[in-house]
Every structure is written in structure tokens, then in C-alpha cells.
Amino acid sequence: MNLLIKGGKIIDPSQGLDEIADLRIENGVITQIGHAISEDNLEIFDATGLIVSPGFIDLHVHLREPGEEYKETIASGSAAAVAGGFTSICAMPNTKPVNDNASITRYIIDKAREANLANVYPVGAITRGSKGEELAEMAEMKTAGAVAVTDDGKPVMNSQVMRHAMEYARDLDLVVADHCQDTCLSACGVMHEGKYSTQLGLKGMSGAAEDSHVARDIMLAEITGARVHIMHISTAKAIRMVRDAKQKGLPVTCEVTPHHLALTDSAVVGFDTNTKMNPPLRTESDREALIEAIIDGTIDAIATDHAPHHLDEKMLEYDHAPFGVIGVETALGVVLQVLYHSGKVPLRRIIEMLTIGAARVFSLPKGTLKVGSQADITLIDPEREWKIEPAKFKSKSRNTPFANWEVKGKVHATWVSGRQVFQTD
């Protein structure tokens, strides 16, 4: 189908575009951006009053398939993603079995092809079974389609193993993404260690658990020359270290989640297990440091850490409920509410982190509306007010800390390779 998206405001940080214009799509590819483009033989989509953005990219999504399809499948996760404007998502390897070999990587790609919604990029494990001992077959996984490696929720504690992993990944030009957490320092905590953990009688995990691992990874990146990506960064000290590393020219990037931008550890009061995530919600000063790092360009991408869990699992006591919340369907509304409509961050900068900024981290051929690119497009209505209602999610899970929030800014429609895959009600 050939299409003309007409009269929208095109914001594409990859090429410095910020203007009202038309965008023509032919055979799934962007063929022209301009004014008063001929409508002959084209289907017209009136985008007046809307923002036309490159399709969003989420570097950090848990799709739970294979192994825990009762929480999420690749199909349901992809449906949720495009409803949230994400045309490309990177699937974490902590499936059952772990994606530590080429056969699992190919399985994920095949299931994504069957779903035929978002582009799904598998991320392979660093070590076999994510046990932190033997390196996984990164080369085979890369050949099969993996775009990065991580042990995600099971940080590699052995620094020598991590050094070898970085050397191996460097030679393959793969990014090593790390959930930075010293598990000895975090000591089985269930929330941030501070005033509220003391008041609530919950075991806290110190910010130092994250800071020390970020410091280690930056040192190893300097030694090995490997590209290192700090996942869901959450502390002010970790931000300062990443900022310093970038100023030295080290190949270090980082992402931040919407929930760490919007909430603090005070949200745990009431023991809602949908405020339990890892890394935990931090202090207000940490949250402010994250926003400052967005403004000054230290943070490369916004990623959701979409982590579905069944309702029964999240109904356990706070100490025993699993970590993690879902996020692909609420990310835009929450981020626009907290950053853009508050006047703190320009819309263009937010779109940059959701598109080309994320694409650069894993070297994905996405995040742009340049002529000749695949037509992955997200239309945004930045002024639409709506209520977050988990019962309406496309995801199979409902574990969000933002239930019943009133937010402004919503995805209006989404295209993947020129095919419309979502339109709002």
C-alpha cells in the first residue's frame, strides 16, 4: 500500500527535522518528505495536529517466551509494543531456557515473524544459562540475529569473566549491556535502602550496589575497548560516572526507565507490589539527577524494562513478590507528563531518546525517517488526555504502578514497514 501522511509535524532528530510537512510511503519505504506532495494514487492519512515521529525503539523488553507464556508471549508483547508506539523492541535473554545459543535466538525471531507486528531484536546471554561462569556462544548468536549480550537480572559478578566477555564482544562488535548490581551489597533487599525502607520495615538495597558495578564496568570498558551499555540507570552517582566516562571518550552508554523518572521510593508506602522493581525506585535527588542527565545529553535512551508478571504472583507479600513492572503501553504518556508537559524537557529531546538515540546504542538500522528507510512511524497526539486503565492493555499482564494515572500525550497510530499495525480508539 502506498500512503501519504499529510500535514503532520515531523520531528526527526536523526536529520534535524522539526516542521509541518507531508511524508510519502511506497512499498514500505519512505520515498519523499516535503510540502504539497501529489496525492495521486496514494491513500491519505490526515495527521493535522499530530506529531510524526520515527517508530520508537525499546532496548529493554522481557517477552517471557519461551517458557512463561502465561505472563506474555512474543505476539502479545509485540501487540502491546506497537500500541505504545514501539516499532522495534529488544528481547531480553532471561527466557526459559535462557537465550544463550543460536537455536533460541532463531526461535524468537521466527515467533516474531509469525506475530508480524513489531520488529523484535533478540539479545543473547553473556554466559551460559546466565550463571556468570562460562561465556555463551556470542558469535553464533550474533550470526543468528542477536544484537547485543547481557545477563540482565543476573549480573556477572566475576570481574574476570566480565572482562573476557567484553573482549569477546568487542571482537564481534557486540554491545555488552549490564544490569549493574553487586548482589553482595544489595543483599536480598526488596526496595531502596533509606528512610522509607526503615519506616516500612523492608530490607533495603543500597545505591552503592549499583554504583560499584557501574564503576567496574567503566574501568573494564577502558581496559578492553568494548562498548558497554548501562541498563536502567537509577542513581545520581552512577550518572556522574557515566557522564565522566563519556567526557573521556569511553564507549559507554546508558538508558533510563519511565518509572525511575516518575516515581521515588516514597511510592512504596502502602506496599503496592507494583512499585517493586530492580533497580528499586530511588530518592527524589536521584530522580532529579536522572532528569538533569536527560537535559545535558548523558542519557542515550528511554527503555521500559517491560517485565510482565501474573496477577497472582504480584499479590504476594512485598518481600516475596517478584521484581518488575510492565511499561511499553504507558511509557509515552508517563514520560510526556513528567518531562514535557512539566516544561522540563523539549519534545524533540524525548523523541531523540526513543528513536535515534536508542538505535545508536545497539547499532540498529532504525530510528529515522530518512528517505530510503523502512517506514517505521509513530504518530503522537501530545495533547490528548487519557486515563491509564490496565484492563485495556494489549499485554497479558497488568502489573503497572501507573494504574488510574491521568496523563497527557498518547500514541495515535503506528506503522511498521509501511503497514499500519495500530490506531487508537
Could you list the active site residues?
Answer: 305
What is the distance, to the nearest Å, from the Cα of residue 58 to the centroid of all Cα atoms in its chain?
A: 3
Three-state secondary structure along 37-50? CCCCCCEEEECCCC
Q: Are 210 and 235 in contact (CB under 8 A)?
A: yes
Q: Are 45 and 6 in contact (CB under 8 A)?
A: yes
Outline where DSSP puts E strands in 162-257: 175-178, 191-192, 204-205, 228-230, 252-256
User: 91 phi and psi, to 5 degrees?
Assistant: -90, 120
Taking the C-alpha atoms of residue 207 and residue 66, their distance in angstroms, rounded to an integer, is 33
Nearest to 120 by CA among 376, 369, 309, 373: 376
Length of the chain: 425
Nearest to 252 by CA among 298, 319, 306, 186: 298
C-alpha cell at 363: 547499532
220 membership: H or E segment, kind and range: helix 207-224
Cα-based distances in Å from 329 to 30, 58, 80, 119, 422: 26, 11, 6, 16, 12
Q: Are 127 and 134 in contact (CB under 8 A)?
A: yes
**Residue 175's beta-bridge partner residues?**
148
Outline where DSSP puts E strands in 334-376: none
